[in-house]
Structure 1
Amino acid sequence: MVINPKYKLKEIIDVSSLKDIQDKFAKIIGLSTVTVNGDGTPVVTASYFTKWCSLIRSSAEGYRRCKHCDSVGGTMAMEAGKPIIYNCHTGLIDFAAPIIVNGNYLGSMLCGQVTSTNFKNKTLIDVKRLSRELSLSENDLFNALAEVPVVDYEKILVSADYLFLFSNFIAKMGIATITKSELLDETKEKMKLTELLKNMEIKALQAQINPHFLYNTLNTIARMALIEGAPDTENLIYAISDLLRYSLKNSNNMVTIDSEITNIKKYFYIQKTRFGDRFDYKIDIDPSILNFKIPVMTLQPLVENSIIHGLKNMTINGKVKIIGKNFNNSYLTLEVFDNGIGIDNDRLKTIFAVENSYENLTGLGIKNVDDRIKHFFGYSYGIELKSTKECGTTATIKVPCIKLNKREA
């Protein structure tokens, strides 16, 4: 049983509905009723409180004792898993029924504020002591006590059973609210993912611009470079063509890490041609992870962020490393490290909180990649960023060790 639950009673039960239920119950049985949370604090205004209890609670010390008494009574009912009957701190008879939602104790319904013909407990109430300890008028206490209902104990037993029915009804309302809330959250996540995929599709369409035309044009230029004796230009154009073909051909698919690494090597080749000696790169991948699957274009956005953003102020000695590790075939990590300018703490906090944050030139930002990983593998996986200003940034991708099947290839 969870004593400090995730939800509060007020969060899962409409307060006006709760008050209406409580009022109706109190009216049916003709006894004072209050609904409290786990620490004894009333959730809604009490129904048909006796003059005695209202007077006791008008004292700060009296209210503290009543609140503690209600908390203890509710806790005892929770531990018993059924309604209990007990004497409050002043000596009156109360009974409590727990409100338990999905194993979480949220509070209780309390009823009573009576004496019984079976116990004659009015004679046990020490008015003089209460007057002294609570700083209340002894005469007012005697007058209030005279108005406390005297109820047959059988009625108390039946009322306690009724109270349990009502507390269970409140619990079921809470379960329905939580279920509805969780379904709403799930729907929101699905809508968010749908919007993400829609945006990706739009970007892919924008990037395609008749891919066959682009492939043919690039290959024509490459052949011209070969004829003109420019092998470096030829290799560069073929690398660009392969990169474009890879991103568009696999836009909705999973790929092996081996394919992703092959693609990223071509990307490094293009960027090295562009930036020359400004940076070097190293790829160190555990061979055992090469056949495991990963969403297409997972590495390129992170590498591009390292080169374009991380190393933007460096003219020499820039470094980018990709390290792949296997953790007992349970999960694997791919670390993308750069020794660049780093990301300040304020910026680091917003990267996963803002849509399209820290986007690179491809339009696939870090958050986008993280969202896709979580979509395919669950919220235990994704990207973790660590960065130190002027020292560099490490983006760690975590995915499960799952091999690519033919349908996904």
Structure 2
Amino acid sequence: MYNIEQYKLDEIIDANSLQDIQDKYSKLTNLSTITVDRHGVPVIKPSNFSKYCSLIRTSKEGYRRCITCDAMGGLQSSKLKKPIIYRCHAGLTDFSAPIVVNDIHFGSMLCGQVIVKENNTRDSIDLEKISSELYLPLDKLKSALNEINIVEYEKVKNSADFMYMFANLIAKMGVANIAHSKLLEETKEKMKFQQLARDIQIKSIQAQINPHFLFNTLNTMASMSLLENSSNTVDLIYALSDILRYSLRNSDKMVNISTEIKNIEKYLYIQNVRFRDKLDYKIDVSSDVMDCKIPAMTLQPIIENAVIHGIEPKKQPGKVSIISKIVSEKYIAFKIEDNGVGMNPEKLQSLKDKINSSGEDDSNINIGIQIVQDRIKYYFGSQYGIDIKSSPNEGTTVYIKIPLVF
């Protein structure tokens, strides 16, 4: 579910549209207008700014005071959830219309830069003090102040109320558009995952449990049954049946890491019998992660690739290892390593490109890893997934990053 608080004002309302709204409002009311974020920083260009305020902001200290004043006005109006009218640090009357959606303050539209007829006059503004503190020429301040409009309080109040209603209507429409877009994205992701789950079930033998592996396992069992009477064969059959059952029953589920490891142990047991002295393996998964959750069939396709594409083509014996650790108490890092034939840089880059795209690929190695990558990102987000390193004749290492989920 998306978090509305992560969005900025100019992401909710398109900046060009916001500028157009602000310009037209300022022209309609003849009021200076500026839109700021929740920190008082302008998000678009000011409209109809007075010479007086523009001059004030040429001073570094004056600009700082304007930003602080705008932020305070916006914050106060957001707390009250209504527009407020106030005098700025330079003596003019402004009003702040907060932009609040679902009780979240995104910013404010600030208008005014006027003198209110009923409240003050130009003479009530201490220009000498402002000139001294901001290092601005007194004569320029006086000239600019003389151009400031004097308006009635009722006009300021009505303008503030109108701006509040209008700005929030536009913001709510923007938030609704974001919610609609996110809903569409989530629906597409769910549909993609549902199709992925169906593909895993339909193609489980060819994608998750490679046909090559299944064919050779059956041959091995048949050969052994002729030579002995026949406990090892029974163990192989049970192991294979358990793997098939695990794949078909859990293809779209989350399981404990301990359950996934047990399945891998059965897979490696079968391959160890098949390859005899050619395959060695090591599983070093710490007990503190065994109760954590992981999408079923996350590790097994990676192990299968290591054996079939790494160790099997190698003339000498090979080894596969699985290591895990918890990093910063935030996520689990798996390292699946083989000392097989490896890949050259071009093949490695091609594999990385394919598994990080949504396109289909006919090779079993790409299908298996891409399915794992897609499922991890679906369950946990784009910051998690797979990385691969490999060197020719040295082997391949696959890194898997998933969050700590119990």
TM-score, with normalisation over the residues of structure 2?
Answer: 0.68
Query: SS where residue 189 of structure 1 aligns?
Result: helix
Q: Which residue of 2 aligns with 1:111?
A: 111
* Corresponding residue for residue 23 of structure 2: 23
Deviation at 1:111, TM superposition (A): 1.0
Moved more, 36-45 or 364-373: 364-373
Residues 397 and 274 of structure 1: CA distance in aligned 2, closer, same or farther (over 3 Å): farther
> Relative to structure 1, is the Cα distance of residues 112 and 300 closer, same or farther in structure 2, using a 3 angstrom cutoff?
same
Moved more, 54-63 or 77-86: 54-63
Aligned partners of 1:321 and 1:338 also within 8 Å: yes
Partner of residue 179, structure 2: 179
Stretch moving more, 7-16 or 191-200:
191-200
What is the count of residue pairs matched by the alignment? 386
Change (3 A) 1:399 1:246: farther
> Which deviates further from its counterpart, 188-197 or 47-56?
188-197
* 1:120 match: secondary structure: coil
Does the 8 Å contact 2:240/2:267 carry over to 1? Answer: no
| Distance (Å, rounded) in 2 between the aligned partners of 1:378 and 1:79 | 36
Aligned to 1:270: 270
Report the equivalent of 1:48.
48
- 1:230–1:172 CA distance, 2 compared to 1 (3 A): same
Pick closer, same or farther for the CA change 1:191–1:119 going to 2, 3 Å.
same
Unaligned runs of 5+ in 1: 324-332, 402-409
Which amino acid letter does the alignment assign opposite residue 67 of structure 2? K
Deviation track 1:257-289 (CA, whole Å, cap 9, x = no partner) reads 798677545422331134434555578999xx9
Shift of 1:305: 5.1
* Structure 2 counterpart of 1:124: 124
Deviation of residue 92 (structure 1)? 0.6
Q: Which moved more, 1:155-164 or 1:103-112?
A: 155-164
Q: How does 1:385-396 map to 2 (within 5 A)?
A: none
Matches within 5 A, 1:229-378: 238=237, 242=241, 246=245, 250=249, 264-277=264-277, 280=280, 297-304=297-304, 307=307, 318=319, 320=321, 365=368, 368-369=371-372, 371-372=374-375
SS at match of 1:118: coil
Per the normalisation by structure 1, the TM-score is 0.67
1:81 is matched with which residue?
Answer: 81
**RMSD (CA atoms):** 5.6
Does the aligned pair in 1 maintain the 2:280–2:320 contact within 8 Å? yes
Distance change in 2, residues 1:368/1:55 (3 Å): same
Report the CA distance between 1:157 and its aligned residue: 2.4
Moved more, 48-57 or 221-230: 221-230
**8 Å contact kept, 1:99–1:109:** yes
Matches within 5 A, 1:118-267: 118-193=118-193, 196-197=196-197, 200=200, 203-204=203-204, 226=225, 238=237, 242=241, 246=245, 250=249, 264-267=264-267
Determine the C-alpha separation between the residues in 1 that align with 2:158 and 2:192: 51
Determine if contact 2:224/2:230 at 8 Å carries over to the other structure.
yes
Q: 1:47 to 1:253 in 2, by over 3 A?
A: closer
The alpha-carbon distance between structure 1 residues 237 and 180, as it changes in their structure 2 partners (threshold 3 A), is same
For 1:215 and 1:274, locate their aligned partners in 2 and report how far apart those are by CA, in whole Å.
11
Distance 1:217 1:52, change over 3 A: closer
Question: Percent of pairs identical after alignment?
Answer: 41
Which residue does the alignment assign to 2:14? 14
Please give the alpha-carbon distance, in whole angstroms, between the structure 2 residues aligned to 1:297 and 1:153: 70
Instruction: Quote the offset at 1:363 in angstroms.
Output: 5.0
Is 1:38 paired with 2:38?
A: yes
Aligned pair 1:99/2:99, yes or no? yes
How much has 1:148 moved relative to structure 2?
A: 1.2
Counterpart of 1:21, as a letter, is: I
Change over 3 Å in CA distance of 1:83–1:267 after alignment to 2? same
CA distance in 2, matches of 1:153, 1:167: 21
